[in-house]
Amino acid sequence: MDRSKLARLIGLSALLLALSGPAQAQFRLPGSVDAVGALRRVGDATRDIADRALEPVGSAVGGAADLARDRLSRLTRLVGESDGAIEWDDNHEPARAGEVLLLDPDAQSLTAVSDAGYAVIEQGTIDDLGIAYARLSVPHGQSLPRALKTLRAAAPGHEITADQIHFPSGAASAPALTKEPATPLLRGGTVGVIDGAIAGSDRVVMQRGFAVGAPKASNHASAIASLLKGAGTARLYSADVYGSDPAGGNALAIARAVGWLTGQGVRVVSISLVGPANPLLSRAVAAAQAKGTVIVAAVGNDGPAAPPAYPASYPNVIAVTGVDGRGRVLIEAGRATHLDYAAPGADITAKVPGKGQVKLRGTSYAAPLVASRIAARIGGGAVAALQGANGEARGASKRTGRGILCATCRAGT
């Protein structure tokens, strides 16, 4: 292991060693819950954003330039077809239209934004994480970039952000005729899944919605649950951040889901969603980590030329890329500001209710497999769990991080 990787591992281990045990506080939803979910229009049909990752994929994937163009085209189409539910923020990222978030609101800042013409939709706290926020409505006809600029001037010293959208990072193709048995080294443990709702899994202990219309079954989340079961995970907690909200998968919903899972004592959380950096979600992730939660996230499928993916790029999040059956990193794999592990993200199958056994592709499916390996060892503490994962990982490199985990975990059940 080179010096930079060793230094990063020592730093991460030191941080995890300082973490406390599972939080005991019970999560309680704020009185006014609008949370999140996702729809998009394709012609006359409406489909879940949470299920866009299970669209057919071809045998060949384009190069980095093609992936970058595809990403821009996809996001532009999403905004244009959202019926006004999604618009561009000041960084040209899709976000919930007509709303912004004010962090750590106080009487002075609330008065200032009110005087500037912005009404408070909801004021609350991410329970168990202690992060206060206010949702503000943007005056009719005003764009998000203009609103953000105005509010930052009105309330200097406060973080004000758009509520950006996060997207799944995987795909499924034709039904698989056979399935390869998974033979993980260890079985057991609990994983929290932040995604759409899980259907058809006997491993789900509890499921909670953080979106309008949630919990609503998602093929993407159900495929992830199938992989986790095949990898030997004993218990799942499911947080649906999509439901049927046209602006689903937003930062506020994910932050609420992180808080709920932490409050339930879930020590390992898997997030197969990608989006831009967001100060509210960044703080939620850090607060959960400080309470002993290990967060595992996919690097996305927009290629190496795409912007760094979040939450995978937040400090000390376990960032995961995908490999195929021959151990090659997926050409469409995105990037994060750091990389920890790789796991199977192609030449794998999962059982999806109503679809049977289907082929999967994408870093979405690699992240939960890494989460399964950490969760199986978490009883001995986070440091021991990561050390055990490092011992299992094979083929460390710049493109696979500390190596490939769960290499034989290629069939969900």
**Identified catalytic residue from 195, 240, 245, 302:** 195
Long-range contacts formed by 112-116: CB under 8 A, 24+ apart = 112/154, 112/155, 113/151, 113/154, 113/155, 115/154, 116/150, 116/151, 116/154
Q: Please, what sign has the CA dihedral across residues 189, 194, 200, 205?
A: positive
Whether 195 is catalytic: yes
**Identified catalytic residue from 226, 238, 272, 364:** 364
Whether 364 is catalytic: yes
Residue type for 21, please? G
DSSP reduced 3-state for 10: helix
**Identified catalytic residue from 158, 220, 238, 270:** 220
Whether 220 is catalytic: yes
- What tokens does 243 get? 């439901």
Cβ-Cβ contacts under 8 Å for 13 (sequence gap 6 or more): 383, 386, 387
CB 16 within 8 A of CB 383: yes
What end-to-end distance do the CA atoms of the chain give, in Å? Answer: 35
Q: DSSP states of 351-374 as a string?
A: EETTTEEEEEESGGGHHHHHHHHH
From the list 87, 50, 72, 368, the residue with the least C-alpha distance to 219 is 50
H/E stretch holding 136:
strand 131-137
Residue that the structure tokens 């195929």 belong to: 324
Q: DSSP states of 51-91 as a string?
A: GGGGS---S----HHHHHHHHHHHHHHHHHTSTTSEEE-TT
Cβ-Cβ contacts under 8 Å for 48 (sequence gap 6 or more): 38, 39, 40, 196, 216, 218, 242, 244
Q: Would you please indicate which residues are annotated as catalytic (active-site) residues?
A: 195, 220, 364
